[in-house]
Structure 1
Amino acid sequence: MRRFTSLYTMGKWLIKPLILLGTLNVGFTLLKSDSVNAGNLYNNWNYASDPSYDSLAVGNSSIFNLGGTAVKVDNSYVWVAINGNLPINGLFTGPYYGGYQVSNQNIGYGDFFFDFGNSNFVNASNSSSLFAIKFAANNDSAAAALGIYANVRAKSVVGSNAGYWNPDSNRNTVKARTGLDPTTGEFAWNDPYYSYPSSSFFYPNVIASGNKIGDINLLNASELANAGFEGSNFGFSGSNTFGFKFDRNLVPDGNYVATLILECLNDMTGLRGSKMPPEVIVNPPIDSKPAPVPGMLIGMFVASGVLGKRAFKKKAAKAS
């Protein structure tokens, strides 16, 4: 909190002369380069980064590391960005990986889940109330085609992907090798939202059943960047970035948790967010007149104070 206060105090005085000089963009560049933590809202993108140490594969490889996920909602689409070391089609392993059999010789991404209004992922799955997106064509999902599905119940495929049973078994390995606890995006590894009934529980990570309700458009890194995604500024360190978008009307408004779990559960990430109703733009009456401005100089000083405060507040805003 001290750091934010000092930045705000400094920025409040920096932005005033910047506006007077016509160089406001410099002030925003300064804000944008400031370090951040998981769960950040910036330019309508909600970012949750994930650390690089908590994914340990055979030979301590980082191939299964997730860098993070981000979600943007605008008046037309829900946009999702995914960053990780795995390409979208996963890793070809051959019949075995680390001495464990891999049924389809590939370990990749699970499906992407949205949960609106539930307090626990497993409970939402058991009640078939999840929304899920199959975006990786060759994963072990029961969904037959790429797209978004409703009334989803999830299942676990860790047993056929040389995987950890659940977050606890993954944590035990990470803790033993690094001395650190893993995280699940903006969640702690043992957050109640991801709790489950027993240590022998196989954690669900792909669609088991559901109804397809719409299609998705796959997006590459350039297309996401054109839509305002800036993962590298928010700690996303994976070598592959891709994503998708779908019609915003396919999912309800309200608070959500977005979850992505690898098929092997070597890494997983979660993100809290809120999907608000579309903004309603009301045109002013035709005969209305703009409010009088009491002098250019006063206007610039007022603008500098208001915009400076909003800019710093916007950069520091957390996703609910």
Structure 2
Amino acid sequence: MPIAQAGTFHNGWTYAIDSFNDGFDEGLIGEDSPVEIYGLATKEEGDRLYFAFNSNLGLNGVPKRRAYNNRISYGDLFLNFSDSDALNLATDDVYAIRFNASNDTPQRVGLYQNPSAASLTQANLGFAKRDSYHAAVENLGGAISYGDVAADYFANDPSSPTTLYGGSLIGGIEFTSDLAALDLDFGHFGATGEHTVGFSVDRNLLPHESFIAHLFIESGNEGIALSSGDRHDDPVQSKEVSEPSLGLALSLISLLPLQKLTKFWGTQRS
């Protein structure tokens, strides 16, 4: 079974490099897919914690007539500071960042503590379960990867936790336009997606420990995770969820029809 590896360090950044042919969109993967993610990176400098990713997907998303909000965009970035071998969103050690104002998230852009999460995969033309996404990619000759973690990291939820829908807003974010000045270099790894996006948050608002960051697109048909340090020496194992209602809640939200999702988000937006 694959091991969750620490990210690769280069020029002050820690990188996770994804498979270049696992972003599935209407039968396309790889460079032809508008949702292919190539890499995710992080860097701490002064009191700022930077994140950047390279992808074929821009912040405006991909127009899709049958998708919720008529587009598929990025979900939200989740940060797991716990030492668990599997993601458990029902802990105090998880934070989330909404960086994309055009996605389906009802919360404001910013950094959140104690976030809740939803899977909006089916509302965005994705699969009900990740295994179905894996099979679709493999049938096209692609290779599934989640960067620095094995798929079992997400074993507590059969769908993909894509979207922030609750939590306490504790800080803002700052977009970074001149990433080259910060020595970001996805090209060193052959990651040459059409878009590179970067932003930062106040490092002092987060635990000063290593973390695993993960990001899915809203369909769940592409995702990547980055390990900021040596967190896992053993193979990633599936764990029992300490809060069994969490997986059920996420599954129920992912199965809501669009009209009920609209009503649900309407009660969440401020």
Asked whether the 8 Å contact 1:115–1:121 carries over to 2, the reply is no
Identity of aligned residues (%): 31
Flag the 1:165–1:86 CA change in 2: closer, same or farther, 3 A. Answer: same
**Which protein has the bigger helix share?**
1
Q: Give the C-alpha shift of residue 128 in structure 1.
A: 5.4
- 2: CA distance, partners of 1:216 / 1:87: 18
Q: Is 1:65 the counterpart of 2:36 in the alignment?
A: yes
Match of 2:116 among 153, 172, 180: 153
Q: Give the C-alpha shift of residue 86 in structure 1.
A: 0.7
Match of 1:218 among 167, 175, 184: 175
Q: Which residue identity is paired with 1:138?
A: S
- 1: CA distance, partners of 2:153 / 2:48: 26
Deviation sequence 1:232-288 (CA, Å, 0-9, x none): 11232211001101111011111200101110111100110149xxxxxxxxxxxxx
Q: Which residue identity is paired with 2:80?
A: D
- 2: CA distance, partners of 1:181 / 1:91: 23
Q: Give the C-alpha shift of residue 193 in structure 1.
A: 1.6
Structure 2: which 5+ residue stretches go unaligned? 231-270
Q: Which residue identity is paired with 1:67?
A: Y
Matches within 5 A, 1:113-262: 113-120=78-85, 122-123=87-88, 125-127=89-91, 129-143=93-107, 145-178=108-141, 180-188=142-150, 190=151, 192-196=152-156, 201-220=158-177, 223-262=178-217
Q: Is 1:107 the counterpart of 2:72 in the alignment?
A: yes
The structure showing larger relative contact order (alpha-carbon pairs under 8 Å, at least 6 residues apart) is: 2
- 1: CA distance, partners of 2:98 / 2:132: 26
- 1: CA distance, partners of 2:113 / 2:86: 15
Deviation sequence 1:198-244 (CA, Å, 0-9, x none): xxx43211112110100101123xx1111111111123221100110
Q: Let me know the Cα RMSD of the aligned residues.
A: 2.0
Asked whether the 8 Å contact 1:129–1:153 carries over to 2, the reply is no
Flag the 1:134–1:68 CA change in 2: closer, same or farther, 3 A. Answer: same
- 2: CA distance, partners of 1:122 / 1:231: 26
Q: Give the C-alpha shift of residue 119 in structure 1.
A: 1.8
Flag the 1:121–1:208 CA change in 2: closer, same or farther, 3 A. Answer: farther
Deviation sequence 1:64-112 (CA, Å, 0-9, x none): 1001100001222000001110101211222x2xxxxx12101000001
Report the secondary structure of 2:84's partner residue.
coil
Report the secondary structure of 2:57's partner residue.
coil
- 2: CA distance, partners of 1:152 / 1:248: 18
Match of 2:11 among 23, 32, 43: 43
Q: Which residue identity is paired with 1:52?
A: F
Structure 1: which 5+ residue stretches go unaligned? 1-36, 97-101, 276-320
- 2: CA distance, partners of 1:193 / 1:118: 12
TM-score w.r.t. the length of structure 2 is: 0.77
Deviation sequence 1:40-83 (CA, Å, 0-9, x none): 11222001111221112114241110011000012220000011
Asked whether the 8 Å contact 2:6–2:228 carries over to 1, the reply is no
Asked whether the 8 Å contact 1:38–1:49 carries over to 2, the reply is no
Flag the 1:70–1:83 CA change in 2: closer, same or farther, 3 A. Answer: same
- 1: CA distance, partners of 2:204 / 2:134: 37
- 2: CA distance, partners of 1:56 / 1:173: 8
Q: Give the C-alpha shift of residue 164 in structure 1.
A: 2.2
- 2: CA distance, partners of 1:114 / 1:185: 15
**Could you say which structure has the larger radius of gyration?**
1
Report the secondary structure of 1:109's partner residue.
coil
Asked whether the 8 Å contact 1:47–1:234 carries over to 2, the reply is no
Report the secondary structure of 2:140's partner residue.
helix
TM-score w.r.t. the length of structure 1 is: 0.66
